[in-house]
């Protein structure tokens, strides 16, 4: 169970503003014969809940954007705002992207996207990414043997 909690924590941190990646741990645990469906669930849950932190920051902390400690630089916010303006709430399906994805979840809070809608769309996008990673690694591992 500790491995799953570790994956949850890694995925959570990776979705917040801290620079961290959970993919290596995910495929490492899959290689160690942990259940892929359980890995998928905990990684998706952690990453989605981490994104919810960004949503809350966008909702309540935007008034501090002129402060040096503010988590997003104007250029990252600009990329996310362009995505959001083009695709609207559906852009949250791309919240897993390494560039601009975290900012999209922040923008969703700024734009006051209802939390339930935010959560469902973010879960779908992040879940699809982890499923693709698990599937790709499983396929590659089968080719190697």
Task: State how far the Cα of 124 lies from the Cα of 24, in Å rounded to an integer.
Answer: 21
Q: Provide the domain limits for residue 128.
A: 2-144
Q: Could you give the count of Cα atoms lying within 13 Å of 33 in the half-sphere of its Cβ?
A: 0
Token pair belonging to 20: 């961290």
In SS3 terms, 73-122 reads as CHHHHHHHHHHHHHHHHHHHHHCCCCCCHHHHHHHHHHCCCCHHHHHHHH
DSSP state of 30: H
Task: State how far the Cα of 105 lies from the Cα of 89, in Å rounded to an integer.
Answer: 10
Residue pLDDT, tens place only, 33-71: 999 999 999 999 999 999 999 999 888 877 787 888 877
Which pLDDT belongs to residue 85?
81
Task: State how far the Cα of 12 lies from the Cα of 52, in Å rounded to an integer.
Answer: 10
Counting the structural domains of the chain, the total is 1
- Residue 145 pLDDT greater than 70, yes or no: no
């Amino acid at each position: 169970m500790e491995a799953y909690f570790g994956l949850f924590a890694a995925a959570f941190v990776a979705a917040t503003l801290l620079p961290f990646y959970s993919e290596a741990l995910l495929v490492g645990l899959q290689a160690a014969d942990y259940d892929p469906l359980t890995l998928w669930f905990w990684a998706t849950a952690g990453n989605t809940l981490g994104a919810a932190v960004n949503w809350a920051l966008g909702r309540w902390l935007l008034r501090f954007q002129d402060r040096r400690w503010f988590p997003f630089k104007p250029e990252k916010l600009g990329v996310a705002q362009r995505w959001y303006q083009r695709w609207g709430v559906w852009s949250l399906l791309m919240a897993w992207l390494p560039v601009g994805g975290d900012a999209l979840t922040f923008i969703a809070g700024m734009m006051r996207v209802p939390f339930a809608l935010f959560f469902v769309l973010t879960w779908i996008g992040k879940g699809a990414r982890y499923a693709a990673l698990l599937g790709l690694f499983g396929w590659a591992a089968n080719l190697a043997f």
